[in-house]
Structure 1
């Protein structure tokens, strides 16, 4: 069944919670992102999108179409964790193959040769966290929907919210 394509001449209706969505400033100590805005599949090859990086950690999305693979990956200085967000994956390592479904995770220690293979019929999205990061530049979002981000202006900051959730001493008002 084909998905209807939007009419390019028509402005889409805003989602019901559009007034609560935010574009986070880049200079925050806490930087929320909507990972859906970074999903970017490419025909012919798996695509790695760098969401953000610090001097100690990087967060990437691997977007892998059916019958695509990443090729051989090896990070001599970094441990990498992979978490499958959508689709079904096969991780191929020197020790064998491991299949992971959504919410499955895998740790690959530094220097281990490995690859991600999508043998399924659905697109595969894998979240990768690497420490320390390699030199890949950070990519901007493909879209700026920020659908997963909401701020309740009347509730205060993160410290106040954590105090409400976890209990304990409340910060001064």
Structure 2
């Protein structure tokens, strides 16, 4: 992290580097923990961008999914929840759906985003994502409808009673 620029360097599993503002990075629990550990050890990273020791590696998140994570975090910064009166999770759920719609995301991307939210420890994103999926499931009127909606294929000796 460059102290002057307040930037955290992040590298995704597909080798793409991101410069993330400290304000955004502190919303990501995994990065926040790393920064706190570095501060506690008085071992703040130097400004030398060529040193891989100053890069946070996200071995379970691809660049495409990380861009969606950053979009979520930036949106929460731009429009603070208390100012909007975000008393219900509906606003977060709507934001989650808006991000998916803007990216024309499919179910696979949606699930990857939820898994990334869990790995990165972003509770608001994880909660909105799981609520969104629960809403999709609630619109299905049978197990078969759920299977069809999420393209679940049953193999083997499994039989319904």
So what's the TM-score if we normalise by structure 2? 0.22
Q: Judging by fraction of residues, say which structure has more strand.
A: 1
| Larger relative contact order, structure 1 or 2 (CA cutoff 8 Å, min sep 6) | 1
So what's the TM-score if we normalise by structure 1? 0.21
